[in-house]
A and B are shown apart, each in its own frame.
Chain A
């Protein structure tokens, strides 16, 4: 089967990819957007906002908007201008020669699924897990990767959230709607989250804090029963009997498929030009959380998606 050739393919469908699709389709580049496949992490069609609830800081929505609804709006707007969206995940790419080649499905197929003159990488990032023994086995049995999906099952339970940033505090506050108590386990003695989120957490009676603490072990057979916390100052170990554990300690970029193809930093984030979205491969651009180690907001992702579409449009024009 000969590969399907496009002028521009956008890989990833969060705020960055969908904004790039809006701009690129209005520029008559007929972009194809590979949305990714369903998952219970942020690596899914629509991206990180699909597993959040209320988004209060996206301009234009003074009363706030639900994350999944916001992404449906993004998608509708991209489709309105003719962007083609497919619920497919790139399993292999070859960016070493133009046109670029992209595989979906079987990565060992002789022929790529698609060819593209230009590519925008907007695959985002996914949460880091703790990497402790037993953690994977207990996913779905107390260890959760999606607070909005699973909070319901912890009505009147004692649970814990690991992390001190905005995501951790947002999850903790959301989970207080269900849980009897939510302990925020954080390795420092103060939160990194924005002031408004900190104030809400500190004022919430159901929220407790385990400062200067990290999770040392996860215990439970069949379902989670207990986590062992280690005090980072004294090395003391103590039990925190919880039946739910939500981890929000940071993100890793979804760049496995691009390894060795574009320049990345030590953390796997794609390196882009200081004032734009150019990667070290001519014709390949990157935007959103996949290249952002600083801001990581929906609005900055959307902004860089717009930049990537404009950069790609100009580059394509210069090729003709």
Chain B
């Protein structure tokens, strides 16, 4: 089943990460960030292949800087894994697929 990557906004962010039964991995990204674009298709693949273990969502820091500020995001791409609304792990910087899956899996 194709799950895809959900798009979050300032108004849907809390509801999504708090109410989710599954851990949610949020990708903080922006249009002008090359490495963010490079990992976007990888996150799509991870969403499809590991959808039963983790939800994947993205939030544009340009359009929703309040959320980025709240979690002290100062570099993108930053991926934050939320469990029941709490930030459990943070991965900074673009990485290859295998490494991303490995680092995310360690916290699931």
Contact A40 B74 (CB under 8 A): no
Question: Does B59 sit within 8 A of A, measured CB to CB?
Answer: no
The size class of the interface chain A forms with chain B is: 20 to 34
Interface centre among B30, B42, B62, B75, by most chain A C-beta atoms within 10 angstroms, is B75
Using an 8 Å CB-CB cutoff, how does the interface string of A107-150 with B read, 1 for contact, 0 for none? 00000000000000000000000000000000111101110111
B30, B33, B37, B92: the one contacting A139 at CB < 8 Å is: B92
Contact B95 A141 (CB under 8 A): no
Find chain B residues with CB under 8 A from A244 CB: 74
Question: Does B23 sit within 8 A of A, measured CB to CB?
Answer: no
Q: How far is the CA of A50 from the CA of B39 in the complex (A)?
A: 13
Q: How far is the CA of A141 from the CA of B78 in the complex (A)?
A: 11
User: Shortest Cβ distance from B81 into chain A, in angstroms?
Assistant: 15
Question: Does B11 sit within 8 A of A, measured CB to CB?
Answer: no
A44, A222, A223: the one contacting B94 at CB < 8 Å is: A44
Find chain B residues with CB under 8 A from A89 CB: 96
Closest to A71 in B: B34
Question: Does B98 sit within 8 A of A, measured CB to CB?
Answer: yes
B39, B75, B98: the one contacting A146 at CB < 8 Å is: B75
Q: How far is the CA of A154 from the CA of B69 in the complex (A)?
A: 11
Question: Does B108 sit within 8 A of A, measured CB to CB?
Answer: no
A50, A142, A222, A223: the one contacting B35 at CB < 8 Å is: A50
Question: Does A45 sit within 8 A of B, measured CB to CB?
Answer: yes
Q: How far is the CA of A152 from the CA of B68 in the complex (A)?
A: 11
Find chain B residues with CB under 8 A from A51 CB: 34-35
Say yes or no: A38-B35 contact (C-beta < 8 A), given A140-B74, A141-B72, A144-B75.
yes
Q: How far is the CA of A154 from the CA of B37 in the complex (A)?
A: 21
- Chain B residues with a Cβ closer than 8 Å to the other chain, count: 29
Find chain B residues with CB under 8 A from A153 CB: 68, 73-75
Say yes or no: A152-B30 contact (C-beta < 8 A), given A39-B93, A140-B74, A140-B75.
yes
Q: How far is the CA of A45 from the CA of B39 in the complex (A)?
A: 11
Find chain A residues with CB under 8 A from B99 CB: 37
Q: How far is the CA of A142 from the CA of B74 in the complex (A)?
A: 7
Question: Does B36 sit within 8 A of A, measured CB to CB?
Answer: yes
Closest to A138 in B: B74
B38, B42, B76: the one contacting A150 at CB < 8 Å is: B76
Contact B78 A140 (CB under 8 A): yes
Say yes or no: A68-B93 contact (C-beta < 8 A), given A38-B39, A140-B78, A223-B74.
no
Question: Does A31 sit within 8 A of B, measured CB to CB?
Answer: no
Q: How far is the CA of A87 from the CA of B37 in the complex (A)?
A: 14
Contact A139 B75 (CB under 8 A): yes
Which B residues have a C-beta under 8 Å from some C-beta of A? 30, 32-39, 42, 61-62, 68, 72-78, 90, 92-99
Q: List 30 A-B contacts (CB under 8 A).
A: A37-B97, A38-B35, A38-B39, A38-B94, A38-B95, A39-B35, A39-B93, A39-B94, A40-B35, A44-B35, A46-B38, A68-B37, A105-B98, A139-B75, A140-B75, A140-B93, A141-B74, A141-B75, A145-B93, A146-B34, A146-B75, A149-B34, A149-B36, A149-B75, A149-B76, A150-B76, A153-B73, A153-B74, A223-B72, A244-B74
For the complex with contacts A44-B38, A152-B62, 8 further pairs of A-B residues with Cβ separation under 8 Å are: A37-B99, A38-B38, A40-B93, A50-B34, A140-B75, A145-B93, A148-B33, A150-B74
**Minimum-distance CB pairs A-B, first 9:** A37-B96, A140-B92, A40-B93, A38-B38, A38-B94, A140-B75, A153-B74, A50-B34, A149-B33
